[in-house]
C-alpha cells in the first residue's frame, strides 16, 4: 500500500464473531472501518474499499461475485477463519492477496477433538438417556466405556491442529500414527505415512481423527471402502469439514455396529437436517461446529494477528498466513504445515 492514502476496510462479520472491536479501531485512527453485516450494506461499501475482513461462511457466492465484479480496488481479503473452502467455491478475486487465521485456533480445535474422542470412548453419550430418566445404572454403562491408553490413534493431517492432537493423545498414553502428504516424521507420532498409504493404516486405528482441509481431492476421503478397512468398534472423530466423510456410509457403519461411535463437530450439510439419523444415535456425540470457538482470549489472539497484518499492509510488507486464491494452498515460505488449518502439507486423498 502506498503511503498517504486513506485505507478503507469493509468488515463483513456477524456481531458474535466480530473481532474488529473499538480497541482495535482506536489503534488505527487513520483507517476507516466500515461495518457491513448485511449483503446490501456490503454491496454499498465494498466497491470503494481496499480491504475486506470476513469469514468463510460469510463469503457466499453473492459476496464472491461482488468482490470479483464490483470491487476493482480490493487488494486484500483477511479471513477470520482457518478454512476458506466456501470462499474458494464462491470465487475469490485473482488480484487480491488472501490471508487466513491458521494456527490461532489450533490448540482449541485440538482440545475439542480430544473432548469428542474422550466423550465417545468413555461412553458419555450413552449416559445421557439414563440421566434424563434419572437412572443411575452403572452396569448398563460398562459396555460403552473404553480406555484410551494403549490404543492407536490415526490422525489424518499433521499441521498445527493435527500436531497438537498428537501431543495431547500421547499424554493419554495413546500410540499415534500420522498421515500427511509426504509422510515425513513428526513429533509425538510413532510413525507417519504418506497419503498413498492412508487406507493401509486404517485397520490399526482404535480411533481416527480427521484434521485436514476440504478440497476437491479430500472430498469423501472417508467413504464406504475406507470404513470397511477399519477394525470393528473403531471410533471416528471429525473436527475439520463434514465433506471429508461420506455421511450415508458413516451412518450405515454406525447403524450396523461396525463402528463403535463417532464424535462430529461438523457434518456434510449444516445445519444438520432434523430428520438425520445422527440425531438419535446413542453412539454419536454431536456439537454444532463450535470446535474453533475459544472465548475472549482467543478473540484477542485473532485480533492481534489481524492488527499485525494491517500494519504490514500499510507498510507494504508481506502479510502473514497468505493462501493461494485459486487453490487455498499456503503461500508462506515459513508457514506451518497444514492439517485442518491449511492445505499445503496434508494428503489430497486423505477442510476447519
- Domain boundary (229, 263, 286) is at 286
Q: Are strands 175-180 and 152-156 parallel, antiparallel or unpaired?
A: parallel
Check whether residue 40 and residue 70 sit in a common domain: yes
71: CATH:
3.40.50.720
Q: Is residue 243 part of a domain?
A: yes
d(CA 272, CA 158): 28
Check whether residue 72 and residue 169 sit in a common domain: no
Of 349, 323, 317, which is closest to residue 338 (Cα–Cα)? 323
Q: Is residue 334 part of a domain?
A: no
Q: Is residue 23 part of a domain?
A: yes
Check whether residue 72 and residue 49 sit in a common domain: yes
Check whether residue 225 and residue 162 sit in a common domain: yes
Number of domains forming the structure of the chain: 2
Predicted local confidence at residue 328, as pLDDT: 84
Predicted local confidence at residue 82, as pLDDT: 87
Q: Check: CB of residue 83 under 8 Å from CB of residue 341.
A: yes
- Domain boundary (286, 309, 342) is at 286
Set of cell numbers at residue 30: 487513520
Predicted local confidence at residue 203, as pLDDT: 98
Check whether residue 63 and residue 90 sit in a common domain: yes
Check whether residue 255 and residue 301 sit in a common domain: no
Of 254, 262, 235, which is closest to residue 151 (Cα–Cα)? 235
Q: Is residue 209 part of a domain?
A: yes
Check whether residue 137 and residue 268 sit in a common domain: yes
Check whether residue 54 and residue 72 sit in a common domain: yes
Q: Is residue 212 part of a domain?
A: yes
- Domain boundary (286, 306, 334) is at 286
Predicted local confidence at residue 129, as pLDDT: 87
Domain enclosing residue 140, as ranges: 106-286
Q: Is residue 352 part of a domain?
A: no
d(CA 106, CA 341): 7
Q: Is residue 257 part of a domain?
A: yes
List, by residue number, the catalytic residues: 241, 270, 289
Q: Is residue 277 part of a domain?
A: yes
Check whether residue 83 and residue 160 sit in a common domain: no
Check whether residue 83 and residue 208 sit in a common domain: no
Check whether residue 267 and residue 165 sit in a common domain: yes
Q: Are strands 76-79 and 152-156 parallel, antiparallel or unpaired?
A: unpaired
Check whether residue 207 and residue 300 sit in a common domain: no
Determine the angle formed by the axes of helices 106-121 and 124-132, rounding to 10 degrees: 70
Which residues of the chain are modeled with pLDDT < 70? 1-4, 332-352
In this prediction the pTM is 0.88
In DSSP terms, 35 is beta-bridged to 11
Amino acid at each position: 500500500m502506498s503511503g498517504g492514502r486513506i485505507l478503507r476496510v469493509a468488515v463483513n462479520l456477524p456481531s458474535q464473531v466480530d473481532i474488529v472491536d473499538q480497541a482495535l479501531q482506536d489503534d488505527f485512527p487513520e483507517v476507516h472501518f466500515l461495518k457491513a453485516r448485511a449483503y446490501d450494506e456490503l454491496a454499498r461499501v465494498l466497491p470503494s474499499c481496499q480491504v475486506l475482513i470476513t469469514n468463510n461462511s460469510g463469503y457466499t457466492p453473492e459476496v464472491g461475485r461482488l468482490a470479483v465484479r464490483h470491487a476493482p480496488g480490493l487488494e486484500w481479503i483477511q479471513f477470520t477463519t482457518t478454512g476458506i473452502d466456501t470462499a474458494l467455491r464462491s470465487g475469490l478475486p485473482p488480484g487480491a492477496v488472501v490471508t487466513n487465521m491458521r494456527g490461532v485456533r489450533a490448540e482449541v480445535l485440538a482440545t475439542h477433538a480430544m473432548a469428542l474422542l474422550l466423550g465417545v470412548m468413555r461412553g458419555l453419550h450413552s449416559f445421557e438417556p439414563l440421566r434424563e430418566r434419572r437412572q443411575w445404572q452403572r452396569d448398563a454403562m460398562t459396555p460403552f466405556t473404553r480406555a484410551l491408553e494403549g490404543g492407536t490413534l490415526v490422525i489424518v493431517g499433521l499441521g498445527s491442529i493435527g500436531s497438537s492432537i498428537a501431543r495431547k493423545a500421547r499424554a493419554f498414553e495413546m500410540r499415534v500414527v500420522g498421515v500427511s502428504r509426504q509422510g515425513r516424521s513428526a513429533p509425538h507420532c510413532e510413525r507417519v505415512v504418506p497419503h498413498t498409504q492412508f487406507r493401509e493404516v486404517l485397520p490399526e486405528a482404535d480411533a481416527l481423527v480427521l484434521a485436514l482441509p476440504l478440497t476437491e481431492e479430500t472430498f469423501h476421503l472417508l467413504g464406504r471402502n475406507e470404513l470397511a478397512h477399519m477394525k470393528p468398534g473403531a471410533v471416528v472423530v471429525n473436527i475439520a469439514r463434514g465433506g471429508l466423510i461420506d455421511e450415508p456410509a458413516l451412518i450405515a457403519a454406525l447403524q450396523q455396529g461396525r463402528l463403535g461411535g463417532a464424535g462430529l463437530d461438523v457434518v456434510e450439510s449444516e445445519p444438520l437436517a432434523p430428520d438425520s439419523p445422527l440425531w438419535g444415535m446413542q453412539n454419536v456425540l454431536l456439537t454444532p461446529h463450535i470446535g474453533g470457538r475459544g472465548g475472549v482470549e482467543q478473540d484477542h489472539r485473532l485480533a492481534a494477528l489481524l492488527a499485525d497484518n494491517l500494519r504490514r499492509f500499510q507498510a507494504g510488507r508481506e502479510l502473514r498466513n497468505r493462501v493461494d486464491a485459486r487453490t487455498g494452498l499456503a503461500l508462506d515460505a515459513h508457514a506451518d504445515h497444514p492439517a485442518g488449518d491449511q492445505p499445503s502439507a496434508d494428503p489430497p486423498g486423505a477442510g476447519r
